[in-house]
Amino acid sequence: MRFTSRGALALSVALVLGLAGVPAQAGYPLYSAATSPAVAAGKDGLLEVFAPAPPNAALHHRRQLPGGVWGPWEEFGGPTEGAPTVVRTAEGLLEVFALDRRDGRAGERIRHRVQLADGAWGPWEDFGAAASVPVAAEGGTDLFALAPGGSKLLHRARSDAGWGPWEDFGEGSGLPAVARGGDGQLRVFTTLSGQLLGRTRTPAGWSQWTPLGGPADAHSPVAAATESGVVVFVTAGQRMHELRDGWTVFSEPVTGRPSVGRNADGRLEVFVVGRDASSVQHRRETAIGWGPWQTFDGVSAVCSPGVASTVDGRLELFTLAPAGESIVVRAQVVPSGTWGPAQVLGGPASPRCE
C-alpha cells in the first residue's frame, strides 16, 4: 500500500515525512521517540547527549567539541523518570523535557529546560501534567504526549506568544511517531487496540484518525522519510514490521523500539536491541532493498539506541550498557560508510529507558 497525498489513504507514504527529494535537516532525528541516551545536534551541528544518572536520577550531559572529541560530563540537573526527550527548535536551539514524579502532586509532571541564544541554559520549569515525555517533529512547534493515566494523547502547540495549553488529541497508547512532511503539514502515528492509526494536519485542521491496517498487537511506531515517501515500522509479537508498498515482516525478534537514521546518501539505517536484550543490530538500505542484519561487535545496550548525524554527515550511535555503567558511542568512519570502533564515554548513567 503506497500512501498518497489525498483521499481516504492520505496517511500513506506522504503521510508522515515526506515528498520525494526532501532532505532531512542535518543532525535532526528522523523521528522523535524516547531513546536512552537522548542525543541531538545543536545550532553549530555538534552533538549533545543527555542521560539520567543515579542515585537521584538527575540528568547529566556531555557536549561534542570541534574535531569530534568529547568534553567532560556535566550535571544538567532536573528530575527525570527514565530517558529525557531533546527537541531542536526552528532556530537550532535545544529544549530538554523530562518526566517528574517526585513532588507528590496528582499524576506525573513534565519539566523542561530551554537553551538560550548564547548557548547557555535557562532554568528548569514546569510544563504541565502528562504520563510520558513528549515527542516532536522537526522545528519543535508541536508536542505530543500521553495524558495522565495513559489512555489518550495530548497535543501542545507553540506560537510567537509561547506554548499554548495541553489539548486532548484523541485515544492512543504508547508514544506516537510524529513528523512534518515536505509539504509542511504535520503528521502523527499512534496505535490503539493493536492497530496503527494516522492523522494529519491540513489547512482545514486536523483530519480524523485513519486505520492503516498491519499486524495485530502493533505498538511502538516509528516513521522515516525516503526519496519516494515514508516507511513506517511497528513492533508486534517482538518482531518489527515495515509498511512501504504493503506490510512485510522486517526482522526477527527484537527488544524495544527501533531507532532510524538517514545516511548522507539518503539511505535509511535501522538499529535495534536484539532478542537477547543486549546485542545491537543494524540494517541498511541498498540499491535493491534492505541489506542483511549485522551485529555490532563489542556493543551492547539495554534501551533503544540514540542516533544522530554529525556536522559532516556521519551517523553516530549512542547506547546505554545493560547495567547502566557507561554510555558507548560508535561513529561512521566516513559519511554513509563503515562503522568505526566503539568509544566508551563513561560517565554517570542509569539503566532507565522510557
Percent of the chain with pLDDT over 90: 22
250-263 residue pLDDT tens? 988 787 788 888 89
Domains located in the chain, CATH noted: 38-346 (2.130.10.10)
Q: How far apart are CA 212 and CA 349, in angstroms?
A: 38
Query: In angstroms, rounded to a whole number, what is the distance separating the alpha carbons of residues 80 and 97?
Result: 9
Q: What is the pLDDT of residue 16?
A: 28
Residue type, position 50, single letter:
F
Q: The cell 543515579 sits on which residue? A: 54
Burial of residue 56 (CB within 10 Å: 0-12, 13-18, 19+) is exposed
Which cell numbers hold the place of 254?
527484537
Note whether 27 and 41 are within 8 A (CB): yes
Q: Which residues contact 62 (CB under 8 A, 6 or more apart)?
A: 48, 49, 70, 71, 72, 73, 74, 345, 347
pLDDT tens-digit map of 88-120: 888 889 999 988 866 555 457 899 999 999 889
pLDDT tens across 5-32, in order?
Answer: 222 222 222 222 222 222 233 333 333 3
